[in-house]
Structure 1
Amino acid sequence: MPDVVSKSYVEYRNDAYWIEGTRISLDSVVYAFQKGVSPESIVQSFPLLTLEQVYGAIAFYLANRAQIDAYLAAEEAAFDVMPQPLQTAAPALYDKLMAAKAARQ
């Protein structure tokens, strides 16, 4: 029987998780997966990814769910405390974006 080589689909670089060899964040795939988007539809949204990469990223997330959920929560908290230039430059757009974010949660 030939040797089977395991693959890595997610890498940690620049203080974030990324689909290995791409500039697509794991966050993007995880948020879509959490919304119930199928892996095939995720590939359509991110045509640079293969179906194998999407399934690999989802498997990575499921195997490390507690750590990745904590990472995502920390990223969201850090974003929430960042000053938002849009808030002063375009308050109507900022309010619309914040309402969309609240609806998502």
Structure 2
Amino acid sequence: MSETAAAHPQFVLAAVLGLLFALGTFLVLRRDIVRVVWGITIISQATNAYLVTMGGFAGSVPIISGHGGHGSTTDPLVQALVLTAIVIGFGTTAFALVLTYRVYEEHGTIDMNELGEST
């Protein structure tokens, strides 16, 4: 790892999260429904990563933080909420993909422009 990345990890994290949000936005703006679903999934996972990092990484376990002189701990509430968001996001993505498959069976296409013209 370069000296700059080691000294300023928040800039590397900001760049990676920015790229994930950009990729998700790019996919959401496509005509293919499957790509839109994956774009929404990528955006939600980037949001989860952002929330975890804003919760803080202190490097100590909350249960034993009083031992050894570490004063700061990681907030477990943020991690629990993000874990719940990951599970709900997985279920929502699976449901959206099943709905996309049903649309394909009914209309023979998953192109949103063609679906708009067929109604």
Give me the TM-score of the superposition, normalised by structure 1: 0.27
- The structure with the greater share of residues assigned to helix is 2
Between 1 and 2, higher relative CO (CA 8 Å, sep ≥ 6) is seen in: 2
- The structure with the greater share of residues assigned to strand is 1
